Amino acid sequence: MISKMIETQVTKTRPSDPAAPLQAPPRPARKRGLWKWLLFLCIVGPAAYFGYPRIKPLLAYLDPKPAAANKPTARPPVPVVTATVVKSDMDLYLSGLGTVTAFNTVTIRSRVDGELVKVDFTEGEMIRQSQLLAEIDPRPYQVQLADAEAALARDQATLKNAQLVLGRDEKLVKVNEITGQEWDGQVATVRQYNAIVKGDQAKIDNVKLQLVYCRITSPISGRIGLRAVDQGNLIRANDPVGMAVVTQLQPISVVFTIPQDDIIRVQQRVNTGQNLVVEAYDRDFKTKLGTGSLLALDNQVDPSTGTVRLKAIFENKDFSLFPNQFVNARLLVDTKHGATVVPAAAVQRGPTSNFVYVVQPDETVALRDVTVGPTGDGDRMAIESGVSSGDVVVTGGVDKLQPGTKVVARNPQRSRKRGTAGEAENSAMSSPGQSGPGDIPASSGGTPSGPKDIPSKPGGGSVAKRPT
């Protein structure tokens, strides 16, 4: 059998030509590339063994599983800050940047030349009108006064002698003992000496006035600033620098601006004779510096800014207002009675309408469109329609909400208690910076651990994408 197989193989390899020599059968091809596969397995095997636990969650996520095994986990409640909608009277204000201006500011300067021999005030103290502030060496002017008085005495004696001669000449001219020309000459001499005496008296009065100027007093009551000249220095009259500056602080004024579109609202109240209240706040609008009244309205609009200037007067009893200080002024122009009021942070501005998130009894939120009214004092806003008194609205953490989202209030005492209107107003309309421990400020656009806050818009509320 084996011989037949060899013979058959030889027959197959034998060429068709009988004369051609016989050829040996080809040897089978040697297997190559086996070492490459072994190297590949040595590398991939340990990598797969050690890397599988790390990629197993990813494979589990990519591997489709039955719906029963893919049940969604319950989403935890979103922490939010809430407030209760109330009905109350809301004051309407016009705000503007203002500058504190003193009614009187005086630079103390010397009116005579001389040495400063006494400084009788303390820098920064409150002084009263006519109080002595400094003294200049009076001795040079005392010498001038003595010289002027001596000249006056000399000229008065000369005048007296001329008057006696005139009296004798008057008798002689009646009996024609002297000519009329001599009489007229003597009358002119008396008048001349009279003028000289008056000049001497004027010099004496001038020197006395210089002596008065040697005592420098305050022309107004107020606060004196830092001293610019020290005792012992020679000072000159009307020095531009001056010795110090006195500023009147009580009362004091604030000049601020409002838009030209609001002039009619202010003018209507002014025409009725009402006293408009003006409040001054610090730069951050947190601390009230004083309360005053509107004093005057400017007579023209600034064309470059489209604003008009207003001037208010403040008693400034506690000296909280300082000249040239920048303040935020608020002018009370009207009061809206019985308004539905919410914090301005609760109103979100969508692409088509304004809306708020209302907390339902099951602790989920619902989206409601609202019609916004005027913005009042602080962070309060009137709502014309959409919510009613007693509703609980979200003021912080709205960036994480969708309709139906489960929420938990960070301040449950504010959100779930629906007591009297006064209690609700005090809890809902608390001023900025007075929230309880752990509370999110009402002006915040999200929780501390959430994404970046939504920027606020002028007039309250924030710009937010309306959920679909």
Cβ contact 97:326 at 8 Å: yes
Q: Which of 319, 142, 338, 134 is nearest to 227 (CA)?
A: 134
Coil/strand/helix, residue 140 = helix
The token pair that represents 92 in the structure block: 């309407």
The token pair that represents 171 in the structure block: 């008798």
Instruction: Kindly report, residue by residue over 46-89, the tens digit of the pLDDT.
Output: 766 666 666 666 666 655 555 444 555 567 888 899 989 998 88
Please tell me the predicted confidence (pLDDT) of residue 63. 56
Mean pLDDT, to the nearest integer, of 218-241?
A: 92
pLDDT at 204 over 50: yes
CA dihedral sign of residues 453, 458, 459, 462 = negative
Please tell me the predicted confidence (pLDDT) of residue 352. 84
Give Cα separations from 45 to 40, 58, 119 (angstroms). 8, 19, 97
Percent of the chain with pLDDT over 90: 43
Instruction: Kindly report, residue by residue over 335-363, the tens digit of the pLDDT.
Output: 888 888 888 888 888 888 889 999 998 88
Coil/strand/helix, residue 166 = helix
Instruction: Kindly report, residue by residue over 153-201, the tens digit of the pLDDT.
Output: 999 999 999 999 888 888 888 888 888 888 889 899 999 999 999 999 9
Domains belonging to the chain, first-starting first, are: 80-90+336-463 (2.40.420.20), 92-103+247-335 (2.40.30.170), 108-246 (2.40.50.100)
Please tell me the predicted confidence (pLDDT) of residue 465. 52
pLDDT at 3 over 80: no
Please tell me the predicted confidence (pLDDT) of residue 73. 58
Mean pLDDT, to the nearest integer, of 23-37?
A: 58
Cβ contact 462:454 at 8 Å: yes
Look-up of token digits 């040495």: 115
Mean pLDDT, to the nearest integer, of 228-249?
A: 92
pLDDT at 294 over 60: yes
pTM of the model: 0.59
Instruction: Kindly report, residue by residue over 82-127, the tens digit of the pLDDT.
Output: 989 998 888 888 889 999 999 999 999 999 999 999 999 999 999 9
- Choice among 297-306, 359-368, 379-388 with the minimum mean pLDDT: 379-388
Please tell me the predicted confidence (pLDDT) of residue 280. 95
Coil/strand/helix, residue 213 = helix
